[in-house]
């Protein structure tokens, strides 16, 4: 129990503190609340996944709904990778390595990360906006008073769907990005299809694909968690919903990049070293 007067004094002390202290305090508070949300989502997971209809609904909206975006992003990613790699390799590296470079960079990094960033923008914004408007119109409160846990009913299906669908989208992105690179190489860079595919097979390691998909599982978790967290903590009106949406997108993009670095360090310097 917090004593209102003590809390008031603490608030006043914090408001007077220099900004780095306030910033740090706010981020630590966010982190704590996010861990609590994830904790209760994990506890509600068994009951939540039994609402399989809700999970499928979210899988369709997160997975299928993000497919057109993923297709375009992946094709152009591969195409750009081919143009840039060919430019860097010209005069120094034989073109047989073009397929190797593209294949590796796509499955390890570009496929999972760009898919997560683009889908993350779309999905975490949609989740934050939906849950945020439910919060400000008291629908979340209404759900709780009906004895229904919003974590079980809203958070778990979104979290499960996002964790399941991000690897699926990443597989499509990997294939399409390599295909995009192949098209550019064959049509505009004077590299034969055979040269490209032989390069692709050279040094191909299945653990590269596995590492990319493992990352996408974490990214899926980040996207749904940020959307749900910022959506549920919305307070106020329409403006607050917009604010939550922005925060959710910014937080999920930043966390994706930070977690990408941490996982890359772990996977390639510890696990596969």
Pick the piece of the chain touching other proteins (CB under 8 A) from 3-11, 75-83, 109-117, 172-180: 3-11
Q: Does 269 bind other proteins (CB under 8 A)?
A: no
Query: What's the closest the beta carbon of residue 70 comes to other proteins, in angstroms?
Result: 25
Q: What's the chain's length in residues?
A: 273
Q: Does 2 bind other proteins (CB under 8 A)?
A: yes
**Nearest Cα to Cα of residue 109 among 243, 263, 228, 273:** 263
Judged by CB under 8 A, the number of residues near other proteins is 20
Query: What's the closest the beta carbon of residue 85 comes to other proteins, in angstroms?
Result: 46
Query: What's the closest the beta carbon of residue 10 comes to other proteins, in angstroms?
Result: 11
Rg of the chain over Cα atoms, rounded to whole angstroms, equals 22
Pick the piece of the chain touching other proteins (CB under 8 A) from 4-12, 167-175, 213-221, 224-232: 4-12
Q: Does 4 bind other proteins (CB under 8 A)?
A: yes
Structural tokens at position 92: 């120094």
Residue 139 has a CB neighbour count (10 Å cut-off) of: 14
Pick the piece of the chain touching other proteins (CB under 8 A) from 93-101, 102-110, 142-150, 197-205: 142-150
CB nearer to other proteins: give 65 or 80: 65
Query: What's the closest the beta carbon of residue 41 comes to other proteins, in angstroms?
Result: 13
DSSP 107-164: IIIIHHHHHHHHHHHHHHHHHHHHHHHHHHTTHHHHHHHTT--HIIIIIHHHHHHHHH
Place of tokens 């039994």: 50
Pick the piece of the chain touching other proteins (CB under 8 A) from 5-13, 27-35, 120-128, 195-203: 5-13
Q: Interface mask (CB under 8 A) for other proteins, residues 7-46, using x and -?
A: xx--x-----------------------------------
**Nearest Cα to Cα of residue 155 among 223, 103, 206:** 223
Q: Does 270 bind other proteins (CB under 8 A)?
A: no
DSSP 14-61: HHHS-HHHHHHHHHHHHHHHHHHHHHHHHHHHHHHHT-HHHHHHHHII
Q: Which of residues 164-193 bind other proteins (CB under 8 A)?
A: none
Taking the C-alpha atoms of residue 88 and residue 85, their distance in angstroms, rounded to an integer, is 5
Q: Which residues bind other proteins (CB under 8 A)?
A: 1-4, 7-8, 11, 134, 137-139, 141-149
């Amino acid at each position: 129990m917090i004593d209102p007067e003590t809390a008031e004094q603490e608030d006043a002390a914090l408001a007077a503190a220099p900004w780095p202290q306030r910033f740090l305090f706010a981020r630590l508070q966010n982190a704590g609340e996010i861990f609590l949300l994830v904790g209760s989502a994990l506890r509600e997971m068994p009951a939540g996944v039994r609402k399989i209809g809700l999970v499928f609904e979210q899988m369709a909206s997160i997975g299928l709904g993000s497919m057109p975006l993923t297709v375009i992003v992946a094709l152009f990613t591969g195409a750009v990778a081919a143009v840039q790699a060919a430019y860097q390799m010209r005069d120094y590296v034989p073109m047989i390595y073009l397929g190797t470079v593209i294949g590796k960079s796509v499955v390890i990094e570009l496929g999972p990360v760009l898919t997560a960033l683009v889908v993350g923008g779309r999905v975490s914004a949609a989740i934050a906006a939906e849950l945020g408007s439910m919060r400000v119109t008291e629908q979340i409160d209404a759900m709780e008073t009906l004895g229904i846990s919003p974590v079980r009913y809203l958070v778990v299906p979104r979290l499960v769907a996002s964790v399941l669908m991000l690897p699926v989208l990443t597989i499509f992105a990997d294939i399409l990005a390599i295909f995009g690179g192949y098209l550019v190489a064959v049509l505009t860079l004077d590299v034969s299809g055979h040269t490209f595919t032989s390069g692709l097979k050279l040094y191909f390691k299945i653990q590269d694909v596995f590492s990319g998909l493992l990352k996408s599982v974490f990214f899926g978790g980040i996207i749904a968690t940020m959307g749900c967290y910022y959506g549920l903590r919305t307070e106020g009106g329409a403006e607050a919903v917009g604010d939550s949406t922005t925060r959710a997108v910014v937080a999920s993009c930043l966390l994706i990049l930070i977690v990408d670095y941490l996982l890359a360090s772990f996977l390639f310097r510890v696990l596969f070293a």
